[in-house]
Amino acid sequence: MAWTRFGKKKDIPGGLWIKCESCGTMLFRKEFEAKHRVCGSCGYHFTLPGRDRIALTVDEGSFEEFYVDLYAEDRLGFVDREPYGEKLEKTQEKTGEKDAAIVGTCTIKGFDAVIAVMNFKFMGGSMGVVVGEKIARAAELAMEKGYPLLIFSCSGGARMHEGPLSLMQMAKTCATISRLGAAGGFSICVMAHPTTGGVTASFASVCDVLLAEPGALIGFAGPRVISTTIKKELPKGFQRAEFLLEKGQIDRLVPRDKMRDELARLVAYATGADAPAAYGGSKNGEEKAAASSTEEAAEVANVGQAKPKATGKRAKKREQA
Residues that bind Zn ion (CB under 5 A): 20, 22-23, 39, 41-42, 44
Based on CB atoms, which residue is closest to Zn ion, 39 or 191? Answer: 39
Q: Name the nearest CA neighbour of 117 among 259, 295, 308.
A: 259
Q: At what angle do helices 259-271 and 293-301 cross, to 10 degrees?
A: 80
| Amino acid at residue number 81 | R
CB of 22 or CB of 92, closer to Zn ion: 22
Q: What is the DSSP letter of 104?
A: E
Closest CA to 152 of 184, 179, 114, 123: 114
Residue 193 CB, shortest distance to Zn ion, in Å, is 13
Nearer to Zn ion, 39 or 275 (CB): 39
* Burial class of 51 by CB neighbour count within 10 A (0 to 12, 13 to 18, 19+): middle
39 or 207: whose CB is closer to Zn ion? Answer: 39
How far, in Å, CA of 148 to CA of 296, rounded? 21
How near is the Cβ of 39 to Zn ion at its closest, in Å? 3
Question: Closer to Zn ion at the Cβ: 18 or 310?
Answer: 18
| In the complex, least distance from residue 46 CB atom to Zn ion, rounded to whole angstroms | 9
Distance between CA atoms of 213 and 190, rounded to whole angstroms? 7
- Cis before residue 308, ω within 30 degrees of 0? no
User: Pairing relation of β-strands 252-253 and 209-212?
Assistant: parallel
Of the pair 41, 282, the CB lying nearest Zn ion is at: 41
Compute the distance between CA of residue 199 and CA of residue 247 in angstroms, rounded to an integer: 19
Report the chain's C-alpha Rg in angstroms.
21
Q: Give the Å distances, CA to CA, from 98 to 62, 128, 150, 154.
A: 21, 12, 21, 17
E-strand ranges in 41-100 read 64-66
Rounded to a whole number of angstroms, the minimum distance from the CB of residue 222 to Zn ion is 22
Secondary structure percentages of the chain, helix, strand, coil, to 5:
45, 20, 35
Q: In Å, how far from its chain's centre is CA 247?
A: 20
CA distances from 256 to 37, 80, 300 (A): 9, 36, 17
Residue 20 or 192: which CB sits closer to Zn ion?
A: 20
Q: CB nearer to Zn ion: give 43 or 85.
A: 43
